[in-house]
């Protein structure tokens, strides 16, 4: 597993013998990295996005507490702006 965090996105890459799966979290459109974009398959030709707020809590258990990414995944960042953004895009 490889975890990468930037100021505007985070990425978790899982490697196996047969496949690589990448989960991408963007903080550009909202403050909590949702929706999650999952890329999978050898050629990364398959992808889809989904909402899973539990993922934020699990990720916070894995990454360093003093990182900016840890703060970004805090569910306290869910606010009216995020809810309005989500409803407007779905």
The residues, any chain, with a CB within 8 Å of residue 18's CB and separated by 6 or more, are none
Please give the average per-residue pLDDT across 57-73, as a whole number.
86
Domain span at residue 79 reads 2-88
Burial of 1 (0-12, 13-18, 19+ CB in 10 A): exposed
Give the residue among 66, 47, 68, 70 at the shortest CA–CA distance from 58: 70
Is residue 78 within 8 Å of 53, Cβ to Cβ? Answer: yes
Question: Which pLDDT tens digit goes with each residue over 14-49?
Answer: 888 888 888 888 888 777 888 888 888 766 677 888
Q: What is the pLDDT of residue 4?
A: 64
- Domain count of the fold of the chain: 1
Q: What is the pLDDT of residue 78?
A: 78
């Amino acid at each position: 597993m490889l975890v990468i965090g930037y100021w505007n996105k985070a990425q978790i890459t899982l490697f196996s013998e047969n496949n690589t799966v990448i989960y991408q979290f963007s903080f550009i459109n909202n403050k909590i990295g949702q929706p999650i974009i999952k890329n999978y398959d050898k050629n990364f030709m398959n992808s889809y996005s989904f909402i899973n707020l539990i993922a934020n809590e699990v990720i916070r258990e894995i990454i360093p507490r003093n990182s900016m990414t840890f703060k970004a995944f805090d569910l306290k960042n869910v606010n009216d702006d995020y809810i309005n953004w989500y409803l407007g895009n779905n």
